[in-house]
Amino acid sequence: MLTAVAAAVLAIVLALVGYTAFGQHQLDRTLASVGAYATIDGVRLHYLDTGPGQPEARPRPPVLVLHGASGNLNEPRTALGRHLAGRRVVYVDRPGHGHSDRPSRRLAAPAAQARLMAGLLDHLGIDRAIVVGHSWGGAVVAALGVLHKDKVAGLVFVAPATHPWPGGVTWYYSVAAHPVVGRLFAWTLAYPVGRLALERAATGVFAPEPVPDRYRDDAHVELVLRPRSFIANAEDVADLKANVTALSPRYPEITAPTVIVTGDQDAVVWPSVHSQGLKRDIAGAELVVLPGVGHMPHHTRPDAVMAAIDRVTARALATAEGSRKGSPAG
């Protein structure tokens, strides 16, 4: 009897693994890479560089855009791409997400990801950039502002997750981040169950606003259901509290022009902890609170995010102009 039960369980597990492997192959084929690759500190990163844009009398700094948890570069690109047309914009898959590699869990730290982003900017010949980060990506923006001041001209946080918060994380992140159990979970249940839960998850992150038409298709959200991405995402989320607990005391060191955009109805990250915390910690930071807006203001209120990018850009240009006039050669 026990042998029969064990055989049945093994058959179910193997069937789930096979189904997941097939699904991963299909996703890699249908949601293929859209940009180029660069190897930074031994990590292969996938990015999309829109190019220099139109010549400008007063050249504006390029924009580096970082996605949040469960995302990839297509998620913010589908929200902001047409609004940023004409500027040089670099969208990047954070390590383990989209089509970027993730050789070790140490890359779950925002500081480690910030080092890779600084290296990517160097690789692309970008001296300083306006860095925009949504949700989990906001922690990387903050790390860049603290640890790589020379690479940032300005910072824009969108519904950021940047400070330690009361409580923990949803149970499946901790399970999937486990070095043994997490692999079994990701290779058996994450893909079939995740496909059924995607619509509900999207509704939750956009609430109380509606999910835009074609969001699931254009943002390539299903890429997170592949085992390697599911595990990387879980590691990011499971380790975030410890990482921001360590780094957030240094946020007062940030000197770049900063704007924070958040919705007052965000139930995914608490504006009272994160956005208000950044406003408190970063001298001169501007906080924009959008009434009736949830966790995805770059999709539902791109005008507000673009206005923030424009204001940070103007401040960065003014700071650079002031530095030139004040230099001995000015």
- pLDDT tens per residue across span 170-210: 988 999 999 999 999 999 999 999 999 999 999 999 999 99
- Would you say 49 and 124 are in contact if contact means Cβ atoms under 8 Å apart? yes
Tell me whether residue 281 is in a domain. yes
Tell me whether residue 122 is in a domain. yes
Q: CA-CA distance, 48 to 64, in Å (whole number)?
A: 10
What pLDDT score was predicted for residue 3?
86
Q: CA-CA distance, 314 to 319, in Å (whole number)?
A: 9
Tell me whether residue 316 is in a domain. yes
What pLDDT score was predicted for residue 327?
56
Tell me whether residue 42 is in a domain. yes
For residue 7, name the pLDDT band (cuts at 50, 70, 90): confident
CB atoms within 10 A of CB 253: 13
Helical H segments across the chain, by residue range:
2-30, 74-80, 110-123, 136-147, 171-177, 181-188, 190-206, 215-218, 227-247, 275-281, 297-300, 302-326
Percentage with pLDDT > 70 across the chain: 96
Rounded to an integer, the average pLDDT of 296-325 is 92
- pLDDT tens per residue across span 41-99: 999 999 999 987 667 767 899 999 999 999 999 999 999 999 999 899 999 999 999 99
Q: Work out the end-to-end distance of the chain between its first and last CA atoms, rounded to an integer number of angstroms.
A: 87
Tell me whether residue 208 is in a domain. yes
Percentage with pLDDT > 90 across the chain: 87
CB atoms within 10 A of CB 70: 25
Tell me whether residue 330 is in a domain. no
Give the burial string for 24-35 (b: 16+ CB within 10 Å, else e): beebeeebebbb
- Would you say 69 and 291 are in contact if contact means Cβ atoms under 8 Å apart? no
DSSP 141-190: HHHHHHH-GGGEEEEEEES---S--SS---HHHHHHHSTTHHHHHHHHTH
For residue 323, name the pLDDT band (cuts at 50, 70, 90): low
Residue 305: closest CA among 134, 142, 145: 134
Domain span at residue 114 reads: 2-325
Rounded to an integer, the average pLDDT of 137-163 is 98
Residue 58 φ/ψ region, left for φ over 0, alpha for ψ in the -120 to 50 degree band, beta for the rest? beta
Report the number of distinct structural domains present in the chain: 1
What pLDDT score was predicted for residue 328?
57
Q: CA-CA distance, 240 to 307, in Å (whole number)?
A: 29
Residue 254: closest CA among 117, 129, 142, 150: 142
CATH number at residue 293: 3.40.50.1820
pLDDT at 306 over 90: yes
Q: CA-CA distance, 161 to 174, in Å (whole number)?
A: 18
Q: CA-CA distance, 48 to 33, in Å (whole number)?
A: 9
- Predicted TM-score of the model (pTM): 0.94
- Would you say 204 and 221 are in contact if contact means Cβ atoms under 8 Å apart? no
pLDDT at 234 over 50: yes
What pLDDT score was predicted for residue 330?
46
